[in-house]
Amino acid sequence: MRAAVCGSPIAHSLSPALHRAAYAALGLDGWQYDLLEVDEDRLPAVVAALDATWAGLSLTMPLKQAIVPLVDEVSDFARAVGSVNTVVVTPRSDRRRTPGRGGVRLRAENTDVIGLVTALAEAGADRVRRGVVLGGGATARSALVALLQAGCPRPVAVVRSPDRAAELRGVAARLGGEVEIRDWSELPVALTADVVVSTVPIGGSEAMTDAVLGAFRPTWWPVLLDVVYAPWPTPLAQRWGGPVVNGFEMLLHQAVAQVELMTGRRGPVAAMRAAGLAALEERARA
């Protein structure tokens, strides 16, 4: 059986280390997990080539929405979140064949939310009164849902684009919640939260860090989860004065959920964490 992580750029991904460790711990001999450089243009061809030898795909940027029209089914939860990071491949029970695919059915899922919820819970933030999301992309949608699931009555999202604001409002409404939208100029609102989730890519985080912190230093710091895991620490994590959760923890727990969806077996968290941390340490030494 095969599985792979797809995205662009993708060379930095730790997913192969996590999934391969899971297969080894579960005794799944013959299973392989690859890393595929795939952009939006190439994605349809990759999907069309899936057959019964495949268990699934992990998806990262820029594919979390591009995948939706290419699958047979999107789970109700993933549709509500508006972001997909997992495709599960199963044999078609009705024996009908989709042109270009070898008699399989593709189901899209979202495991980013459970990854975020679990990572926050392990940091002691299983209940959130006031949460702030920095950014408005696909991962920000999952972060918004994670805060709603943690009991936050009205999360705040700080976004650059009004278009992103509309998308986030739609996500909250589909799940029976609300979101408060703030403009990028209001980044210091993050320091009024219990939990802050930054979904900002590493390239934009230096300027964002200056805007969030400025010269102000609170007497009490929120928990920060920065979804970036390499390079680490990010500028925001490095200058944060309170508890910080590395994005690796989110990556780990969403991968555990993917393994369970693709194999039908319980994800071996300890083995996957050890493999991921070892891979990060090896990169740091390189």
- Catalytic site residue from 19, 20, 64, 101: 64
Integer Cα distance of 55 and 40 in angstroms: 21
Q: How many CB atoms lie within 10 A of CB 32?
A: 15
Task: Calculate ∠ Cα 244-248-252, nearest 5°.
Answer: 130
Q: How many CB atoms lie within 10 A of CB 161?
A: 12
Tokens of residue 162, six digits: 């009004």
SS3 content of the chain, % helix, strand, coil (to 5): 45, 20, 40
**Is 4 one of the catalytic residues?**
no
Residue 94's pLDDT is what? 57
Residue 102's pLDDT is what? 63
Residue 205's pLDDT is what? 77
Identify any residues that bridge with 104 across adjacent strands, giving them in sequence order: 91
Q: What is the CA radius of gyration of the chain?
A: 19
Tokens of residue 239, six digits: 């200058």
Helix (H, G, I), strand (E, B) or coil at 192: helix
Q: Which helix (H) or strand (E) holds 86?
A: strand 86-91
Residue 125's pLDDT is what? 95
Integer Cα distance of 3 and 120 in angstroms: 28
Say if CB 105 and CB 95 are below 8 A apart.
no
Residue 72's pLDDT is what? 97
Q: What are the structural domains, with CATH classification, of the chain?
A: 2-109+250-285 (3.40.50.10860), 114-245 (3.40.50.720)
Residue 131's pLDDT is what? 98
Which of 23, 1, 20 is closest to 104 using CA atoms?
Answer: 1
Using CA of residue 285, residue 226, residue 187, residue 127, what is the dihedral sign? negative
pLDDT digits (tens, 9 = 90+) for 6-53: 999 999 999 999 999 999 999 999 999 999 999 999 999 999 999 999
Positions in the chain whose pLDDT score sits under 50: none
0.75 surpassed by pTM: yes
Say if CB 140 and CB 156 are below 8 A apart.
no
Which of 270, 228, 251, 278 is closest to 15 using CA atoms?
Answer: 251
Identify any residues that bridge with 182 across adjacent strands, giving them in sequence order: 158
